[in-house]
Structure 1
Amino acid sequence: MTAHANELAVDVRGLRKRYGDVTAVDGLDLRIRRGEVFGLLGPNGAGKSTTVEILQGNRLRDAGEVSVLGADPATGTRAWRSRLGVVWQDESAPAELTVRETVRHFAHYYPRPRDPERVIDLVGLRAKADSRIKALSGGQRRRLDVALGVIGDPELLLLDEPTTGFDPAARRGFWDLVRLLADEGTTILLTTHYLEEAEALADRLAIVTRGRVVAEGEPQTLRDLHGTGATVEWTEPDGTPHAEHTRTPTKTVAGLMDRFDGEIPGLRVGRPSLEDVYLRLTGQEAAR
């Protein structure tokens, strides 16, 4: 990427982090443009959470250069931290307080917070504003976590596995919230195990394995560059189904059109999915 430094919310070069004999992050490079939604994908132990912790300034790196919103997280000031929002997997709000009390309390930690009432509306908790946190559903608590992540009006929002444990309806509702925040200009870094979620939300993706980025780009670009061709399926005149894996599906279909003299029974062309690409690049294809 050739973007200038002031166009980048995150600029990471050669990041390394070890825990004893275990290398969690091994020369990772990452560049996130301001205003985009960026997805960080990888299996458990790939180094995603460690990377996010380093970006937030909560964990020191062993080597490499890191710039987040123009500053080194290792020496980030309180003013710099106020420009970040973080939503971790674990809940952070006290169970006995109400939604409104909690959001208002956290607003006092920031120099220029969003209006607490507007944030409650933003995350869809108006009907639960006076409910105690312990009475909320899992999806509602996750929305509250997001409220606490955005109450400071962050320039960069870090979302670490934000929809783990959500049912499908709650997950789709959360996607709408992320899109709304992105439309307002918030830069968002999303780590997730849900490939459908990453494809639905992210402008660009990075796939990480063994502490390194092995592929980066728009979802369609990753499929085009790292896919292994297409599968053309059709039905023979005797009713036998047939499938052919090919890197030239258009040529295959053209040949079938000549052979069938027009319509091809049961024709279907399947392109590589993001899941196919992910499993191959992370070495999990054989376990599928």
Structure 2
Amino acid sequence: MALLQTIKIQTKQVLNIFNTKEVAEHFLDSHYIPFDILQGISGEILEIIESITQKTTHYRILETGMGTGRFSYPFAIELAKKFPDSKLYGLDSSRAMLSEAEKYLPPDLSIKYEHVSLNKPLSYPPNFFDASISFYVYHCMKNWKQALNNVIRAIRKPTILFFIKERSQWGFHLDNRFDGIEMFDETYYRFWKEYFKNREIITPLPKVDISASNLDILGTYLEKKGFQHITKISAFKWKRKIDYREDLQSINLGLFTKLRIGLSAQDRAFLRKQMENWLTKEHIDYTKRIWEIPATIEIEVFYTG
């Protein structure tokens, strides 16, 4: 079975791991992007917002799915530099993630963050925010269309939505449809599914619509609602230093990267040994080639006046 198909099967078993202490505590490390890169990207976003709104003061920016504050921190710094009287509002449905954000974010930053479900109407009045930013969030939601509509109602016109995603190994894979390489088969998938079946760390989320992971689908939905679309590839890039054997696990197992941080050393050693049995030189060379591509950020902007 081709990897693209297998990932599609696997992601339907959406796992509620982002609200676990184990994952939240390691999120900044397991999803590392250099801080100065995130600051540069934040500056690019603020320039786009200013060019569309033609405002020069008092911005209210909404970040949906702020998590541990990985992007909130550098963005709030750049926001304060460019528009000192502005504020960032961060929302997330994971108490575990927000608990880590409270430890990570300096108290003097102009950020208000709170625990909410975006699938419910926001507590903010209509036209309260100037723009919304999200870092690869909506595919994790039970009903992304409902969540997106709740966000849109809270943004004044011109309504501006930013969808930010890392363009590294996954961006390369998806753009090239994995070069047709079959990384693993149905038996392989069943092995991992069986291994994690009785672990408390993973909880199935029923009836989750993951189609928002495809920005073409999300974009088509917004364009039907009258939004215009801009794609910007960030000028900021960074080079990864990786153990490509370990990162092949990330590609093959998807959510396993996040799950394994909650496992014992004995479990990790066992899983690594099992993984070695499936690796071939073709897999290793391919993965190494992917990770040698400099990573950057793709910024999708949707706006309507």
Shared fold (TM-score, shorter chain, > 0.5) = no
Which of the pair has more CA radius of gyration? 1
- The TM-score normalised by the length of structure 2 is 0.28
Q: Which has the higher helix share?
A: 2
Q: Which has the higher strand share?
A: 1
- The TM-score normalised by the length of structure 1 is 0.29
